[in-house]
């Protein structure tokens, strides 16, 4: 007997559209991202990956229907974002020190500072040596490690990562992927990347976008 | 708006600003200006019978009229639009912080970093004056502290409004500059000229002047120092015939705050209802 596992949708888009100055960037997109999905979100520049992620984060006004954790990401943004970890492609140029940044995240996300520090150190960042350095003065890889540790330290139900390993050195990349491989199997992971070969061992589903819509959606065996 | 998100953004913005050279330069400029005025002997010079610390405070406020509005506008208009351009907004708004907390947290942080050096400069002048055994005009001190807070808040609100509505830092700065030029141009000399030339109803012209926060601030500064506003010419008659001195002081502090609040609320409304990036 074949047992079918029905996964609960964590993100559900139906007829999702987004335009900028009459130019459609997302075109009537419909898709479900389910719990336990580890998705490689791939596509060329301008395909709509970042726009989709920003709609999920509640940063854009859109047409159509979008639900994240059964809520509206515009109207219930703050509640949703408590369960979302995000790693951006380009780190923000914050002038505050690493220590201040840790305190900021700890306070805002109700997570002990040590939880972030442990993850960052596993990724190879000597956090305590960098305490007094402004975040903006860290190297690209150090910034990325810290941002990844903030995203993972929250233990979110949804992890959205936009080219998360772009600035990591090979050792940190390996550590990062092994961390992700172990990460909560119930959680939804969306990895936006240009380098499919790099993340294919980590994902169980590939979603390819082009011209604002999904042109390929397939499950893959690991 | 959650208190936690608001305070987190306020604190973050404060720390960010404290790490900029511009903030320390700005603080030193006003502190240094007070020190320079003492050293130049301005407290011993006289204007319409006024000497001492009162004379110094009036001069300080005259400088503030010129510098503060444009400084506040130029600093603040780049705030929201700058965060959009350099990816700070994308990241910060992926955290559980409401749009309102983000907007108002930034606004109040900017208020603190702009107003505190001004207040400290006034306090410095009082301490230095007391040390020199000059009598302290407390009435001036309280009024000017209030007027400065009110003016900073007014231009902060206008600046945040521009910052939300513009798409690039260049456009934001240009818009701020144009607004400042218009407000400066409508300080009473131009107003009087317009009144004479167009033979307009004086009440209307004065009312137009009194919606200009710079003009309101300027009259507010003079009203203690020159109770009959003789330095302002005929405009003074219209103002003092219409309202009492106390009522005018209340207006000079209250109106710019309300104006700033109105612009800030319109900016916040736009910010939470449109794309934030």
What does DSSP assign to residue B50? B
Tens-digit pLDDT profile for residues B226-248: 666 666 656 666 677 777 888 88
- Residue range(s) defining the domain that contains residue B250: 3-273
Nearest to B140 by CA among B227, B44, B58, B216: B58
Element (DSSP H or E) covering residue A77:
helix A77-81
State yes or no: pLDDT of B132 exceeds 90: no
Residue A71 dihedral angles phi and psi, to the nearest 5°? -130, 160
pLDDT tens for B138-157 read 888 999 999 999 999 999 99
Q: Residue A120 corresponds to which tokens in the numbers above?
A: 């960052």
Q: Tell me how far apart the alpha carbons of residues B77 and B161 are, in angstroms, rounded to a whole number.
A: 8
Which pLDDT belongs to residue A187? 93
Instruction: Please state, in angstroms and rounded to a whole number, the distance separating the CA atoms of residues A217 and B152.
Output: 54
Alpha-carbon distance of A140 to A136, in angstroms, equals: 9
Question: Does the pLDDT value for residue A213 go beyond 80?
Answer: yes
d(CA B276, CA A159): 21
Does position A62 have pLDDT exceeding 90, yes or no?
A: yes
Say whether pLDDT at B11 is over 80: yes
- Name which of A59, A93, A108 is nearest B96 (Cβ-Cβ): A108
Residue B99 contacts A where some CB pair is shorter than 8 Å? yes
Do residues B150 and B254 touch, judged by C-beta distance below 8 A? yes
Predicted pLDDT of residue A89: 87
Q: How confident is the model at residue B192 (pLDDT cuts 50, 70, 90)?
A: low
The lowest-confidence range among A65-74, A150-159, B153-162, B191-200 is B191-200
**Which of B34-48, B121-135, B263-277 is least confident?**
B34-48
What ipTM does this complex have?
Answer: 0.92
Hey, which of A168-177, A207-216, B214-223, B224-233 has the most confident mean pLDDT? Answer: A207-216
Three-state SS at B212: coil
**How many distinct structural domains can be found in chain B?**
1
Q: Name the one residue in this structure whose structure tokens are 């319109």.
A: B266
Instruction: Give residue B123's pLDDT.
Output: 93
Indicate which of A60, A73, A77 best probes the interface with B, i.e. most B CBs within 10 Å of its own CB.
Answer: A77
Q: What's the distance, CA A141 to chain centroid?
A: 17
Supply the pLDDT for residue B103.
96
**How confident is residue A2, by pLDDT bands cut at 50, 70 and 90?**
low
Q: Do A54 and B5 touch (CB under 8 A)?
A: no
**Mean pLDDT along residues A73-87:** 96
Give the separation between CA A196 and CA A41, rounded to whole angstroms. Answer: 9
Which residues lie closer than 8 Å to B123 by C-beta, 6 or more apart?
Answer: none
Q: Which contacts (CB < 8 Å, 24+ apart) does range A138-141 have?
A: A138/A98, A139/A167, A140/A91, A140/A167, A141/A167, A141/A168, A141/A169, A141/A172
Terminal CA-CA length for chain A: 22
Q: How far separated are the first and last CA of chain B, in Å rounded? A: 20
pLDDT cut 70: percent of chain B above it:
88
- Residues in A closer than 8 angstroms to B4, CB to CB, are 107-108
Domains in chain A (CATH in brackets) are 9-18+30-219 (3.40.50.300)
Question: Strand pairing partners for A67?
Answer: A12
- Would strands A158-162 and A84-87 be described as parallel, antiparallel, or unpaired? parallel
A88 touching B (Cβ < 8 Å): yes
* Residue A147 contacts residue A87 (beta carbons within 8 Å): yes
Chain centre to alpha carbon of residue B80: 19
Asked if the C-beta of A134 comes within 8 angstroms of chain B's C-beta atoms, the answer is yes
Average pLDDT, chain A: 91
Instruction: Give me the sign of the Cα torsion angle B77, B80, B83, B87.
Output: negative
How many angstroms separate the CA of residue A93 from the nearest CA in chain B?
7
Residue with tokens 């709609």: A55
Phi-psi region of A34 (alpha: psi -120 to 50; beta: other; left: phi over 0): beta
**Taking 60 as the threshold, does the pLDDT of residue A3 lie above it?**
no
Paired tokens of B189: 């000399």
Contact A71, A80 (CB under 8 A): yes
DSSP code of residue A156:
-
Quickly tell me which residue has 């305590």 as its tokens.
A128
Smallest Cα–Cα separation from B264: which of B117, B116, B100, B114?
Answer: B100
Contacts for B269 with CB less than 8 Å, ≥ 6 apart: none
Rounded CA-CA distance A141/B40 in Å is 54
Chain A (41-70) residues lying within 8 Å, Cβ to Cβ, of chain B: 54, 57-61
Confidence of residue B47 (pLDDT cuts 50, 70, 90): low
């Amino acid at each position: 007997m074949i047992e079918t596992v029905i996964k609960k949708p964590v993100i559900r888009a139906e007829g999702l559209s987004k335009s900028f100055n009459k130019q459609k960037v997302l075109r009537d997109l419909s898709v479900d991202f389910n719990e336990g999905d580890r998705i490689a979100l791939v596509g060329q520049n301008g395909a709509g990956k970042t726009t989709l992620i920003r709609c999920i984060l509640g940063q854009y006004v859109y047409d159509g229907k979008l639900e994240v954790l059964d809520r509206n990401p515009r109207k219930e943004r703050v509640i949703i974002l408590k369960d979302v970890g995000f790693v951006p492609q380009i780190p923000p140029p914050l002038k505050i020190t690493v220590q201040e940044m840790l305190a900021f995240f700890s306070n805002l996300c109700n997570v002990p500072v040590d939880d972030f520090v442990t993850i960052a150190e596993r990724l190879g960042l000597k956090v305590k040596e960098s305490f007094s350095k402004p975040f903006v003065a860290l190297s690209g890889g150090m910034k990325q490690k810290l941002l990844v540790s903030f995203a993972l330290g929250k233990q979110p139900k949804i992890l959205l990562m936009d080219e998360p390993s772009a600035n990591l050195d090979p050792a940190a990349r390996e550590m990062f992927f092994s961390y992700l491989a172990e990460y909560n199997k119930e959680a939804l992971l969306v990895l936006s990347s240009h380098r499919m070969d790099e993340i294919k061992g980590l994902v169980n589903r590939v979603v390819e976008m082009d011209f604002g819509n999904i042109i390929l959606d397939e499950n893959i065996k690991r | 708006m959650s208190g936690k998100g608001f305070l987190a953004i306020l604190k973050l913005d404060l720390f960010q600003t404290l790490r900029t050279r511009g903030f320390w330069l700005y603080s030193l400029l006003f502190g240094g200006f007070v020190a320079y005025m003492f050293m130049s002997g301005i407290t011993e010079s006289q204007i319409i019978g006024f000497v001492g610390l009162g004379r110094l405070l009036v001069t300080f406020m005259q400088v503030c009229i010129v510098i503060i509005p444009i400084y506040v506008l130029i600093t603040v208009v780049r705030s929201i639009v700058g965060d959009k351009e350099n990816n700070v907004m994308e990241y910060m708004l992926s955290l559980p912080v409401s749009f309102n907390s983000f907007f108002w947290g930034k606004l109040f942080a900017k208020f603190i970093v702009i107003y505190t050096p001004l207040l400290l400069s006034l306090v410095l002048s009082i301490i230095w004056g007391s040390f020199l055994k000059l009598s302290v005009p407390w009435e001036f001190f309280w009024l000017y502290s209030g007027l400065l807070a009110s003016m900073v808040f007014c231009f902060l609100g206008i600046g945040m409004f521009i910052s939300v509505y513009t798409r690039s830092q260049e456009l934001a700065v240009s818009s701020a500059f144009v607004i400042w030029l218009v407000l400066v141009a409508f300080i009473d000399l131009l107003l009087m000229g317009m009144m004479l030339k167009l033979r307009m109803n004086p009440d209307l012209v004065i009312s137009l002047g009194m919606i200009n926060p710079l003009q309101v601030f300027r009259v507010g500064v003079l009203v203690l120092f020159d109770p009959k506003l003789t330095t302002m010419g005929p405009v003074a008659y219209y103002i003092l015939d219409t309202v009492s001195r106390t009522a005018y002081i209340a207006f000079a502090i209250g109106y710019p705050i309300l104006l700033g609040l109105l612009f800030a609320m319109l900016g916040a409304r736009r910010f939470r209802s449109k794309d934030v990036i």
